[in-house]
Structure 1
Amino acid sequence: MSEVKTFTVNIYTENNIGLLNRISAIFQRRKINIESLSASESEIDDVFKFIIVVNVTEEQMAKIQGQIERQVEVIKAFYHTDEETIFTESALFKIKSNLLFEEPQIQNIIKESQARIVTVNKDFFVLEKAGRRSEIELVHRELKPFGIMQFTRSGRIAVTKTEMPISTLLQRIEESNEVAFSKDQS
């Protein structure tokens, strides 16, 4: 039996309505929980990128990759282990302002965790902590006894340690589309 690992899936796509729904359905049908999801522009103009984190076996991941790539708007999907990626998350903590000055332990938490104060006003202050999920969870556990007014955490953002061939692949696709278009015009 294969080992369950954490995989970061990078999906390069066109920006079409409903695609995220179809991609998440691929995981849902297999009863696989998406641990983290983020979406943004990619390094290539007009190409968007989903980053999805899941815990599955490599065999499951390979099948899922194939199904994702069968979606019309998907240009290419890649998956990598944690060892093959550089990744981070970000979190915001909203806490009552008086605690910043009245509880020395809060200042210690901020300093030790290397969190940064984003804003302070008379009612609340906001801390930002970037790093691994475990680091963010530690800050959350340490701040919780003081009362967290609001908390939010981003999905994982990641880049691979090795070069991604996506730019070259897209250039080839674009060139082949131009050739096909010019043949159609003839």
Structure 2
Amino acid sequence: MGQENKLFTVSIYTENNVGLLNRISAIFQRRHINVESINTSASEIKGVSRFTIVVKVTEEQIKKIIGQIEKQVEVIKAYYHTDEETVYQESCMFKMSSDLLFNEDEIQNVIKDSKARIVEVNKSFFVLEKSGTKGEIEKLYNQLNTYGFMQFVRSGRIAVTKNEMKISQMLEAFN
């Protein structure tokens, strides 16, 4: 019986090398797997970067993918987790006409109810920032979409695991 696809958050700890992103994305591309989101940042370890990638695959597929990722020379360790095993957020920003903020009472209610923050206001535009789950961001997007955006941008997922990842102790063992 085949496994069903589900969302996995992949955490990859790496040395920060040029070209690694291309090689990691090629691993997914070869298998015709669409990446739902990707984020790279510094990690909790000095000099070590962290990729956070969200994909929808079977557990069998994700195990093979992790194996391929870990074969990359610069990769220190890769993990995968389900949504239930992580705490995660996304972030987005909306740039909209200032006239809306001053003339549309309903927009002010939407902003307040969504717990979005106004991060910039001037004569011509205002900028809203919202962090939350994908669902919360999509709900706000749909509520504001009727008014029209000047710009919209959304981040990839950022996540931490509920259980400890022993990456720090593992690196200490190497040194």
| Fold in common (TM above 0.5) | yes
2:78 aligned residue: 77
1:3 deviates by 1.5
Paired with 2:112 and 2:42, the residues of 1 have a C-alpha distance of 33
Question: TM-score by structure 2 length?
Answer: 0.98
2:35 aligned residue: 34
Paired with 1:85 and 1:162, the residues of 2 have a C-alpha distance of 8
Paired with 2:83 and 2:157, the residues of 1 have a C-alpha distance of 11
1:142 aligned residue: 143
Paired with 1:173 and 1:32, the residues of 2 have a C-alpha distance of 33
Indicate whether 1:89 and 2:90 are aligned.
yes
Indicate whether 1:56 and 2:27 are aligned.
no
Question: TM-score by structure 1 length?
Answer: 0.93
Secondary structure of 1:86's aligned partner: strand
Q: Percent identity?
A: 65
Q: Which amino acid aligns with 2:10?
A: V
Indicate whether 1:45 and 2:46 are aligned.
yes
1:101 deviates by 1.1
1:105 deviates by 1.0
CA deviations over 1:45-101 (Å, ceiling 9, x no partner): 111000000000000000000000000000000000000000000000000001001
Paired with 1:173 and 1:73, the residues of 2 have a C-alpha distance of 14
2:24 aligned residue: 23
CA deviations over 1:10-64 (Å, ceiling 9, x no partner): 0000000000000000000000000010000100011100000000000000000
Bigger Rg over Cα: 1
2:67 aligned residue: 66
2:111 aligned residue: 110
Greater than 4 Å deviation, 4+ residue runs: none
State the number of aligned residues: 174
Secondary structure of 2:10's aligned partner: strand
2:164 aligned residue: 163
Q: Which has the higher helix share?
A: 1
Secondary structure of 1:146's aligned partner: coil
Structure 2: segments with no counterpart, 5+ residues: none
